């Protein structure tokens, strides 16, 4: 699994893939960053149980992990950071390291520990961020990234709002029609024993 994650990272970091994924602002934000985060999510299964147990003691209800993922995401949402990751190899390396390890991995490890309320807050904030950023990119008359064109930025804004709306509808559907287990995964597992 670790080998697979490393291989996937290397493929994404290869000049042709990187060139294509960074050729537009939409590809960088909607493909490259999510793919990197997904690599982190997939790597979680490779963490040994002992390490997981040790981490869990510092991550009650998944708070630390979700906080870490949120703070890291905030940095990679800055137009200046997106620009710098294209122009500066050091910043690019930081992006390739931190998005899987500090966003994807903690999300995967902490989501199961998070309870109903924390998950709800996290999802609501994700939806709100999609709309905030999407609206900003849609209406800004200025190019926020020096490396990308205005129509690209506006298209990304539209996509972010579509994604925000889809997440909102999915969440609403789940709330209205879905079945809920209000216990955390750990509690559910204990209950099953």
- What residues make contact with other proteins under the rule CB under 8 A? 56-61, 63-64, 67-68, 71-72, 74-75, 78-81, 83-84, 143-150
CA–CA separation, 171 vs 83, rounded Å?
33
Q: How far is the CB of 149 from other proteins (least distance, A)?
A: 6
Pick 67 or 123: Cβ nearer other proteins: 67
The residue with tokens 């925000």 is 164
Based on CB atoms, which residue is closest to other proteins, 58 or 180? Answer: 58
User: Based on CB atoms, which residue is closest to other proteins, 39 or 69?
Assistant: 69
Say how many CA atoms lie within 13 Å of 70 toward its Cβ.
18
In the structure encoding, which two tokens stand for residue 182, read together?
Answer: 């209000």
Closest to other proteins by CB, 64 vs 129, is 64
Q: Taking the complex as a whole, how short is the minimal distance between the CB of residue 71 and other proteins, in angstroms?
A: 3
Residue 70 CB, shortest distance to other proteins, in Å, is 8
Nearby residues of 102 by Cβ (< 8 Å), 6 or more positions away = 40, 68, 69, 72
The residue among 83 and 185 lying less far from other proteins, judged by its C-beta, is: 83
Least separation in angstroms between residue 68's CB and other proteins is 5
CB-hemisphere CA count at 13 Å for 19? 3
Burial of 140 (0-12, 13-18, 19+ CB in 10 A): middle
Tokens of 69: 């993922």
CB of 104 to other proteins, least distance (A): 16
């Amino acid at each position: 699994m670790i080998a697979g994650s490393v291989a996937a990272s290397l493929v994404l970091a290869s000049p042709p893939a990187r060139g294509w994924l960074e050729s537009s602002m939409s590809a960088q934000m909607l493909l490259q960053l999510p793919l990197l985060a997904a690599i982190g999510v997939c790597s979680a299964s490779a963490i040994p149980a002992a390490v997981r147990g040790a981490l869990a003691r510092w991550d009650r209800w998944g708070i630390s992990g979700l906080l870490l993922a949120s703070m890291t995401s905030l940095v990679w949402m800055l137009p200046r950071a997106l620009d710098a990751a294209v122009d500066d190899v050091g910043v690019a390396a930081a992006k390739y390291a931190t998005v899987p390890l500090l966003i994807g991995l903690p999300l995967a490890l902490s989501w199961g520990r998070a309870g109903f309320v924390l998950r709800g807050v996290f999802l609501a904030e994700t939806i709100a961020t999609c709309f905030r950023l999407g609206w900003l990119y849609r209406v800004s008359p200025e190019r926020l990234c020096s490396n990308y064109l205005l129509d690209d930025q506006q298209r990304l804004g539209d996509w972010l709002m579509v994604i925000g709306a889809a997440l909102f509808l999915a969440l609403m559907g789940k709330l209205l029609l879905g079945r809920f287990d209000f216990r955390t995964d750990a509690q559910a597992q204990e209950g099953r024993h």
